[in-house]
Amino acid sequence: MANWFITGVSSGLGLALARAALARGDAVVGTVRAQADAERFTALAPGRAHAMKLDVTDEAAVQVVVRTAESLVGPLDYIVNNAGRGFTGAVEETSLADARALLEVNLLGPLAVIKAALPAMRRRRAGHIVNVTSVSGLAAWHGTAIYGATKFALECLGRTLAQEVAPLGIKVTNVAPGGLRTAFSADRLPGADPVIADYAATAHLARRVLQDKHGSEPGCPDLAAQAILAALDEPEPPLVLLLGEDALHYAERELGELAAQFDRWQGYTLAIAAEAAQAAQ
């Protein structure tokens, strides 16, 4: 039996992953924001499903909740940074206050959880940290710059962390889903306000596309949860796990376009060699 700590288990992928882990007999400590969600979660598997209220932007509370989780179920085998929120809007439209708030939830919150969990994992020389990023953290899409920036940053954080903790027996996996059939794209999706008409044909499309596809996204959260469990059980689990055909499509397209840019402009790239400048003098 494994012990899990998963942020954001009220709904969506976090809840699906928690249910899948509980179904195979594991213990899960999941964080929620509301008492009603806590009661529903603990009822899933009394004695193995533990809900704790947490705002991931409260660093002191994160430390307390992680330590309490360890006292409830024992050493935490998996830490899953799933809690987060979306945001749409053009770069120019987005206030710095909204950008800071999103960074607090989507990047600094996971960082606080990681920092709280690592000391015990280092002592045991074991553990697995899982960061739920997004294909938007690999492929830029107009209208999602600030959201994507938080996920790009979380991608870098996770991959860099993997290099730092590999010698300590700790594993890291970034999970990058595409569209999942959850409440993520519902009408409550935050967005920039006021809007600027000049971005109607670019940045504003993102919100319309997300809302139009709500309820018909290509990915199933329950199957995504099963894929995550299976991947994490592999002897050498992935560093980056894309989830969904759409995620694979957009990530491969982005990488291909970047490779083409690198090739096209490599003359300028290589023209700055200091040795060549010295030889020409």
Q: For the domain that residue 66 is a member of, what is the CATH number?
A: 3.40.50.720
- Please tell me whether the peptide bond between 119 and the residue prior to it is cis, using omega within 30 degrees of 0: no
168 or 281, higher pLDDT: 168
Q: Which residues pair with 51 in a beta bridge?
A: 30
Count of domains for the chain: 1
Q: Give domain status of residue 279, yes or no.
A: no
147 is known as an active-site residue: yes
Q: Give domain status of residue 25, yes or no.
A: yes
Q: Give domain status of residue 151, yes or no.
A: yes
Question: Cβ(34)–Cβ(10) under 8 Å?
Answer: yes
**CA-closest candidate to residue 137, choices 102, 173, 178, 83:** 178
| pLDDT at res. 278 | 75
| Helix (H/G/I), strand (E/B), else coil: 243 | strand
187 has a pLDDT exceeding 70: no
The CA distance from 151 to 157, in Å, is 10
**Percent of the chain's residues with pLDDT above 90:** 88
Q: Give domain status of residue 258, yes or no.
A: no
Full residue range of the structural domain in which residue 74 is found: 3-249
Query: For 106-125, what is the mean pLDDT?
Result: 98
Place of tokens 């987060």: 84
| pLDDT at res. 118 | 98
Question: Cβ(169)–Cβ(119) under 8 Å?
Answer: no
Q: Give domain status of residue 267, yes or no.
A: no
Query: For 138-145, what is the mean pLDDT?
Result: 95
| pLDDT at res. 277 | 72
Q: How confident is the model at residue 215 (pLDDT cuts 50, 70, 90)?
A: confident
Which of the following is catalytic: 78, 147, 199, 250? 147
Give pLDDT tens digits for 269-280. Answer: 999 998 877 777
185 has a pLDDT exceeding 70: no
Q: Where are the beta strands (DSSP E) in the chain?
A: 3-6, 27-32, 49-53, 78-81, 128-132, 171-177, 240-243
Average pLDDT, the chain: 95
| pLDDT at res. 186 | 52
| pLDDT at res. 274 | 87
Q: Give domain status of residue 270, yes or no.
A: no
230 has a pLDDT exceeding 60: yes
Q: Give domain status of residue 17, yes or no.
A: yes
Give pLDDT tens digits for 23-79. Answer: 999 999 999 999 999 999 999 999 999 999 999 999 999 999 999 999 999 999 999
Q: How confident is the model at residue 181 (pLDDT cuts 50, 70, 90)?
A: confident
